[in-house]
Amino acid sequence: MTPTIGVFDSGFGGLTVLRALIERLPQASFAFLGDTARLPYGSKSRRTIARYAAQSAQFLVREQGAEFLVIACNTASALALDAIQDAVPVPVLGVIEPGAAAARAASHTGEVLVIATDATVQSHAYATACRAHGLRALEKACPLLVPLVEEGWCSLPDSDEAFAAQAVRRGGPPPQVAVTAEVVRIYLDELNAEAAEAGLKPDTLVLGCTHYPLLRSLIERTVPPGMTVIDSAEATAEAALALFNGQHEAEERSPSAQDPTEIRCFATDSVEKFERLGSRFLRRPTGKVELVDLGG
């Protein structure tokens, strides 16, 4: 029997974490829940977020049999990790601590930059986690990046091949991608100017939002030479792999490489949008997304 890993996000950005997990744990089954009816979490109180996240975690554990949970949502990781750990009897991993740990491993100057959503920045969860690792972090909210990714302006049309062909034909990227590149440049210029003003010498940039991995190549082309880009989705998958292999050591020694990965996706609303955009985050079809009702 393959173990089931539950992955939870308020939306479907967390599918980038699921993708990174699948690459590392092809022998596991996955149940992904996007609490899309109640997003965005970012504007809600800590108590409400904790209640929603605990309900979502209980669904994955009790109804989908998850033996291990990954909270692929920065807001829930920042504000509700304790509440989720109290609500379910299985190990729970968030995205923030692995991102900070990866920054610690990458940085030589001990000074790092973090880009994230407004809510994540306001929580200062990354700055706090980085400080615990002896790092100084400068955080910046980049509110336009999520809508640009959701509009698909990171690589148009949907497949990379078609995008590449179009770019060659036109002699450059499509204007939509050029807009996103310019937005990335403006945000990073502002952040680098703030860092210089504060006398910092950052050498590492943490992508503190599960939507941002879709912008990774644009971002890598924009950062100053020598700056390492940390994808917290990848960092979280690495941390999950280590924890999970510790838990399932006996089983892991004899994986059945023939077992296809089983992925079940659930959403509390917007199943259509989930199916349409989800495959872009997951880089494979999401399959049929099931609608679930977690109540108010």
The catalytic site residues sit at 73, 209
Residue from 30, 52, 59, 153 in contact with a copy of itself (CB under 8 A): 153
Q: Does 166 bind a copy of itself (CB under 8 A)?
A: no
Report residue 80: phi and psi, to 5°: -135, 15
Residue from 175, 224, 246, 285 in contact with a copy of itself (CB under 8 A): 175
The alpha carbon of 282 is separated from its chain's Cα centroid by a whole number of angstroms, namely 11
Residue from 147, 157, 224, 246 in contact with a copy of itself (CB under 8 A): 147
Q: Does 157 bind a copy of itself (CB under 8 A)?
A: no
Q: Does 296 bind a copy of itself (CB under 8 A)?
A: yes
Q: Does 264 bind a copy of itself (CB under 8 A)?
A: no
User: Shortest gap between Cβ of 127 and a copy of itself (angstroms)?
Assistant: 20
* DSSP-derived pairing of the beta strands 29-34 and 68-71: unpaired
Q: Between 127 and 181, whose beta carbon lies closer to a copy of itself?
A: 181
Size of the site for a copy of itself (CB under 8 A): 22
Q: Between 260 and 296, whose beta carbon lies closer to a copy of itself?
A: 296
Q: Does 143 bind a copy of itself (CB under 8 A)?
A: yes
CB atoms within 10 A of CB 60: 25
Q: Between 177 and 223, whose beta carbon lies closer to a copy of itself?
A: 177
Residues present in the chain in total:
296
Q: Does 269 bind a copy of itself (CB under 8 A)?
A: yes
Q: Does 158 bind a copy of itself (CB under 8 A)?
A: no
Residue from 36, 75, 155, 236 in contact with a copy of itself (CB under 8 A): 36
Q: Does 27 bind a copy of itself (CB under 8 A)?
A: no
Q: Does 150 bind a copy of itself (CB under 8 A)?
A: yes
In SS3 terms, the chain reads as CCCEEEEEECCCCCHHHHHHHHHHCCCCEEEEEECHHHCCHHHCCHHHHHHHHHHHHHHHHHHCCCCEEEECCHHHHHHHHHHHHHHCCCCEECCHHHHHHHHHHHCCCCEEEEEECHHHHHHCHHHHHHHHCCCEEEEEECCCHHHHHHCCCCCCCCCHHHHHHHHHHHCCCCHHHHHHHHHHHHHHHHHHHHHHHCCCCCCEEEECCCCHHHHHHHHHHHCCCCCEEEEHHHHHHHHHHHHHHHHCHHHHCCCCCCCCCEEEEEECCCHHHHHHHHHHHHCCCCCCEEECCCCC
User: Shortest gap between Cβ of 155 and a copy of itself (angstroms)?
Assistant: 15
Name which of residues 95 to 134 contact a copy of itself (CB under 8 A).
Answer: none
Residue from 63, 86, 182, 262 in contact with a copy of itself (CB under 8 A): 182
Chain residues that interact with a copy of itself, rule: CB under 8 A: 36-37, 39, 43-44, 143-144, 147-148, 150-151, 153, 175-176, 178-179, 182-183, 186, 269-270, 296
